Amino acid sequence: MLRTVLKGFLCAVTLMTLFSCGKTQTSSQEDSLDRIRRTGVIEACTAIDPPYSQKDAKTGVYSGIYVDAMNVIAQKMNAKVNWHETTFGNATGEIAAGRCDVMVSDFYANIPRALSIAFTSPPLGYMGLGILVRKNDPRFKSVKSPFEFDKPNLTIAVAPGEAGDLWVKENFKQTKIQRVDVQSADLTRFCVEVSSGRADAALSGPEFFEKYTKQHPEVVDIFASRQFSLNPIGWGVRQSDYKWLQFLNTALQFLDTQGTLAQLEKKYHGRLLHVVKQYKLQ
């Protein structure tokens, strides 16, 4: 009997200890907004993708539509931004692991990513996809749908983790996918596969192709004027950062209604699609 009572007592003490430790751990977690207000520092991730995020090769200074927007927000918070360069493929992990407070770039807010992180809302804009082919390739003269490229005798080049890569993973079952790692110094390297003939086409966001086709007239984005697979664009934060997310939503809404985001898009020649809005007194 005494042994049974003692065993029950020890179990109760163990449960109380575990509950106490768990409670202490939960209460010690600090929302990013509280920490930023305390320290005056924002740890921001960004993936290089001009004109939304870019880096000066000589000075190392970051700029672009969303980088400048984040800097405006930080200035109004009396905070500074520590920029951390990442890739679209690694950004979700960086945020979820707590290495960055926010992912600042033209980041596609899709369902797989939303399983791990939260996105600002409403969307900052929308971006579709295009397909790059050689101008003199007769096979693609009359293409009407991107699904016509899902054939076993075709090779499609993509950048790992970029929107085009995510789309082909979900939609293409037969095509051979050629993934080409890119770096901030050469973001369009996967497009070279089309110019050289090593790939039949490349699939990505139109901003990559617009820059590349200006320097390489031998290729063309056949969906430049009719982008497909529109995706909402947002900034990413940890799912538990409720106050920080609410703050960013309000801050971005303010920059939008003040015309700041539109001015930055005009300054850097952005190509996001937007819902047309009109404000008027009733």
Residue 18: the pLDDT is: 40
Q: Both 120 and 237 in a single domain?
A: yes
Q: Both 239 and 110 in a single domain?
A: yes
What total of structural domains would you count in the chain?
2
Confidence of residue 152 (pLDDT cuts 50, 70, 90): very high
Tell me the C-alpha distance between 220 and 187, whole Å: 17
* Domain region containing 262: 32-125+231-268
Here the tokens at position 41 are 């520092």
Q: Both 137 and 212 in a single domain?
A: yes
Find the farthest-apart pair of alpha carbons in the chain and give their distance in angstroms, rounded.
Answer: 90
51-to-84, 161, 270 alpha-carbon distances in Å: 17, 19, 6
- Domain presence at residue 276: no
- Domain presence at residue 11: no
Tell me the C-alpha distance between 114 and 81, whole Å: 24
Q: Both 119 and 133 in a single domain?
A: no
How confident is the model over 35-63, as a mean pLDDT?
94
Residue 20: the pLDDT is: 40
Confidence of residue 160 (pLDDT cuts 50, 70, 90): confident
Q: Both 239 and 108 in a single domain?
A: yes
- State which of 9-23, 123-137, 263-277 shows the largest mean pLDDT: 123-137
pLDDT digits (tens, 9 = 90+) for 73-108: 999 999 999 999 998 888 999 999 999 999 999 998
Q: Both 113 and 242 in a single domain?
A: yes
Residue pointed to by tokens 């996918």:
177
Each as own residue / partner, the long-range contacts of residues 109-116 (CB below 8 Å, 24 or more positions apart, any chain) are: 109/231, 109/232, 109/233, 109/234, 109/236, 110/166, 110/231, 112/166, 113/236, 116/92, 116/239
CATH of the domain at 61: 3.40.190.10
Judged against a pLDDT cut of 50, whether residue 53 lies above it is answered with yes
Residue 27: the pLDDT is: 37
- Domain presence at residue 15: no
How confident is the model over 115-126, as a mean pLDDT?
95
Q: Both 68 and 114 in a single domain?
A: yes
Q: Both 199 and 144 in a single domain?
A: yes
Q: Both 119 and 137 in a single domain?
A: no
With beta carbons less than 8 A apart as the criterion, state whether 89 and 164 touch: no
Residue 275: the pLDDT is: 85
Q: Both 36 and 167 in a single domain?
A: no
Q: Both 223 and 160 in a single domain?
A: yes
Q: Which of 201, 229, 257 is the last residue of a domain?
A: 229
Residue 185: the pLDDT is: 55
- Domain presence at residue 23: no
Residue 31: the pLDDT is: 93
pLDDT digits (tens, 9 = 90+) for 162-209: 888 889 999 999 999 999 887 655 678 899 999 999 999 999 988 778
- Domain presence at residue 86: yes
Here the tokens at position 241 are 């950062």
Bigger pLDDT: 54 vs 14 = 54
Q: Both 247 and 214 in a single domain?
A: no
Here the tokens at position 238 are 């940890």
- Domain presence at residue 253: yes
- Domain presence at residue 152: yes
Judged against a pLDDT cut of 90, whether residue 248 lies above it is answered with yes
- Domain presence at residue 145: yes
| Average pLDDT across the chain, whole number | 87
219 bridge partner residues: 134
